[in-house]
Chain A
Amino acid sequence: MPETTFEVTAPKSENTELAVYEHPWPVRFCHWVNSIALLVLVGSGFQIFRAFPSFGAKIPQKDLLHWPKAFALGGWLGGGLQWHLTFMWIYIATGLFYFCYQLFSGNYRQVLFTAGDIRGVWPMVHYYFFFGPKPEPRHVYNPLQKLAYSSVLVLGVLSVLSGLAIWKPVQFSWLAWPMGGFHYARIWHFAVMWAILFFLLGHLIMVVLHGWNNFMSMLTGWKKNPEYVSR
C-alpha cells in the first residue's frame, strides 16, 4: 500500500519537509485509551494478586512473590477489583473498536504480520541486536515491528479471554478448557500480563531511540521525514 507523501513548504523559506499520514485517529485514540487502561489493569491486577500471591492450593499456601503495595492500585482487594472490573470494559470496548476499524478500513495491512514478512525479520534482528547492516526501510512498519505489534494484539486478546475465564468460570467454562481449566487460566492471565509488560519495555526503548517525530506521529497521525520515504 503506497503511502501518500506530502511536501510541506514554508512560505519564506526554501526548506521543504516530507510528511506522511501514518496513523488514522481511531488507531491513535485506541492506542492512548488502552495505554491508560493497560496501566490501570496491571496496577489493579497486582492488587488482586496480592490477596493470594500464589498459583497453588490455599492449604498449604506457597507464595510466589511478594508484590509491594506501592506498585499496586486500589488500596485493598475490593478497591483493586473495582478498578479492574471498571477498566476491563474500557479495554474490551476500545479493543473491539480497534479491530473493527482496522478490518473494515483495510488499515490492518499496515500492521498485520503476514507470510511475506517472515524473510525480513532476521535482517532486522541482526541489525538491532548483532550490529548487522541496516535493512532499507520501505514501509511504515518493518517486518520485526509488524511481528511485535501483531503479537501484542494477540496477547491483548488472550488477556481478555483468560480474564473472562477466571471472572466467569461457570458461564464461560468452555473458555478455560483450552487453557487447561480454571486453575490454569489464572496462570495464563498472569503470564500474558508479563508478556505484555515485556513488549511494553521494548516498545518504550524503541520510542526513546526513534525520537520526537516518531513519537508525535502517534499524537497527530503525521510523521515528518519518515526514513522510508526518499526525496
Chain B
Amino acid sequence: MTKAIDSRRFNSTTRRELLKLTPVLALGAFAIPKLQQPLLKAGLGFSDWASELLFRRNHLAPTFSDSEVAPFTTFPINDYDVDDPGVDLEAWTLTVSGAVQKPGEYTLAQIQALPKIRQNTRHVCVEGWDVIGRFGGTRLSDFLKSIDADLNSRFIYVECADDYYESIDMATALHPQTLLCYEMYDRPLTREHGAPLRLTIPTKIGYKQAKYLTDLKVTNVLPRVGYWEDQGYSSFYGL
C-alpha cells in the first residue's frame, strides 16, 4: 500500500513523533546533583515500601538439613568495628524499655527459660555472600509476650555493646523464625558472633541481625533507624 504525502507535512509528522519522546528526558533529573540524592532516597523508599508489602507474616524462610550447614569455622565474622567489644558476660543483662508492662534488666537465664528453637537457616549479607548456619535461641515474639510488650507498636529498637544499633518492624519481630539467639552450632555464642545475645532473622538481610545486644526498646518512633541505614542502606531490607 502506498500513500502520498508532501514533505512539509511529513516533516511536521516526524517532528511531532520525536516530541513524543520528551518524557524520556525526565530521567535526566538523576544527573542533576541537587535532585540526585532525593530521587535515589525516594527510589529506595519505594523499594522498602514494596518489601514491606511483600512480607508475609507466616511465610517461613527456607530451612536446611544438618548436612547443608556450613562448618562453624567458615561462618564469617562480620562487624563494623571490633570482633570482641569486651562484654562482661557474668554481669550482662538486657535492658528493656519502651512500650512494655515489665521493663527492666533481664538476665540470660530468664531469656533461656523461654521455649528454645533450633533452626538451620541462611544468612544473607548485603555484600552478596550467603552462608547456612545453625542457630539456637528463643523466639523474639515469645520474649515480647513475656514482657507484656505492646504488640501494636511499630518497631523494636536495639543497641549493642559495640555501639552498633538497629531496628526492625513489629511484623518481622513477631515472625516465628525471628530469634533472640544465644547459641550457634549448639554452643553458646562466641564473642565474635555476638555473645551473649544477638538477633537471628532469616527474613532480613545480615546487617539487621545485630550482635552483642545490650538494650531493647519497643517503640513507635525511631530517632535512628540503624548504623548502616542512617548512611544510606535500605531500612526494611526484608528478604
Contacts and interface: CB of A to CB of B under 8 A. Distances in A.
Contact residues of A: prevailing secondary structure:
helix
Interface string B65-84: 00000100111100000000
Contacts of B15: 220
A156 interface: no
B148 interface: no
Interface residues of B, number: 58
A146 to B, nearest CB: 22
A25 interface: yes
A88 B43 CA distance: 9
Interface stretch (B126-134, B150-158, B162-170, B187-195): B126-134
Interface string A125-144: 00000000000000000000
A17 to B, nearest CB: 8
B21 A32 contact: yes
A89 B47 contact: yes
A200 interface: no
B62 A173 contact: yes
A169 interface: yes
Contact of B46 (A59, A61, A89): A89
B62 A170 contact: yes
Contacts of A222: 10, 13-14, 17
Interface string B46-69: 110001001110010110000000
Interface of A: 2, 4-11, 17, 19, 25, 28-29, 32-33, 36-37, 40, 48-49, 51-52, 54, 57-61, 77-79, 81-83, 85-90, 168-171, 173, 182-183, 186, 219-222
Contacts of B228: 78
Contacts of A183: 130
Complex A-B, nearest 8 residue pairs according to Cβ-Cβ distance, in ascending order? A86-B43, A52-B128, A58-B129, A51-B127, A220-B14, A78-B232, A82-B40, A85-B47
Contacts of B203: 170
Given A82-B43, A170-B239, A219-B18, A7 B3 contact: yes
B209 to A, nearest CB: 14
Nearest to B203: A170
B32 interface: no
Nearest to B4: A7
B126 A57 contact: no
Nearest to A33: B24
A9 to B, nearest CB: 6
A220 B17 contact: yes
Given A170-B62, A171-B239, A9 B20 contact: no
B125 A52 contact: yes
11 contacts: A7-B5, A11-B8, A57-B74, A59-B76, A82-B41, A82-B232, A170-B203, A170-B238, A171-B55, A171-B238, A222-B10
A82 B17 CA distance: 33
A87 B44 CA distance: 10
